Amino acid sequence: MTNSAIIAIDGPAGAGKSTVTRQVAMRLGLVYLDTGAMYRAVTWLLQSLDLPVQESKALQQALSDLELRLEAQQQGDQLVWVNGKNVTEQIRTAEITAGVSAVAALPSVRNALTAQQRRLGASGGLVAEGRDIGTAVFPNAELKVYLTATVAERARRRSADLIQRGLPLPDLKQLEQEINTRDQLDSTRAVAPLCKAADALELVSDGMSIEQVVQQIVSWYEAKLLPPGFS
């Protein structure tokens, strides 16, 4: 049994996709691809070059010069490199989080990153998380999961995550509002908006532990992809 399958995990902000996807990758021996980190990296690049968030010659140039690399670490962590600079920490700041959806709506940014994601997935054996993986990047993925949770639950998780990272903590109402704004921007953009693929399995994770969510996805994978009697 070779793990050449592609699993697509999409869903709105703060649904726990990163943690879950990382663990699914480790359990199934698949490469983990965090496409949100790639959009965050480009947002960082635009901010550091002081480029306006709009289509322009300068943006085209920045994208064609871009060398974006995700480097796997132990425990499923990864480093993010932009043009030789380690931006792993910088791409998680509130400023990047607030700006990323506008950058991700630019068609030239989506084209560039989608092309790189497809190259990374060309030989399969990958679990990718994002907003448009099952709909636009890998529409033929063997398993598609749409992972979501209520806004209140997602804000609560985001706040726990910020505490753990030692980052400044806005109040829950503000987090809910930020999540709503990002969901709205991501699901109404013209190119590859956030939406559930027709053939995705939906998982609403309120009240579920990370382990339960991981187990559910692994079970779906086994049911769909392993020959009978294999698991």
Per rule CB under 6 A, is residue 135 in the interface with ligand CDP? no
Give the residue with the Cβ less far from ligand CDP, 5 or 157: 157
Cα angle 194-197-202, degrees, rounded to a multiple of 5: 95
- Asked whether the beta carbons of 13 and 183 are under 8 A apart, the reply is yes
- Residue least distant from ligand CDP (Cβ): 36
Minimum distance from CB of 127 to ligand CDP (Å)?
13
- Asked whether the beta carbons of 55 and 107 are under 8 A apart, the reply is yes
CA distance 21 to 44: 23
Q: C-alpha distances in angstroms, 8 versus 60, 88, 144, 230?
A: 28, 23, 5, 22
Binding residues for ligand CDP, total number by CB under 6 A: 16
The residue range among 56-64, 99-107, 195-203, 212-220 that interacts with ligand CDP, by the rule CB under 6 A, is: 99-107
The β-bridge partners of 8 are 128, 144
Minimum distance from CB of 149 to ligand CDP (Å)?
11
User: Segment 4-43, which members bind ligand CDP (CB under 6 A)?
Assistant: 13-14, 18, 35-36, 39-40
The residue range among 1-9, 51-59, 97-105, 200-208 that interacts with ligand CDP, by the rule CB under 6 A, is: 97-105
Per rule CB under 6 A, is residue 134 in the interface with ligand CDP? no
- Asked whether the beta carbons of 159 and 169 are under 8 A apart, the reply is yes
Give the residue with the Cβ less far from ligand CDP, 36 or 121: 36
* Residues with Cβ within 8 Å of residue 215, at least 6 apart in sequence: none
Contact residues for ligand CDP (CB under 6 A)?
13-14, 18, 35-36, 39-40, 100-101, 104, 130-133, 182, 186
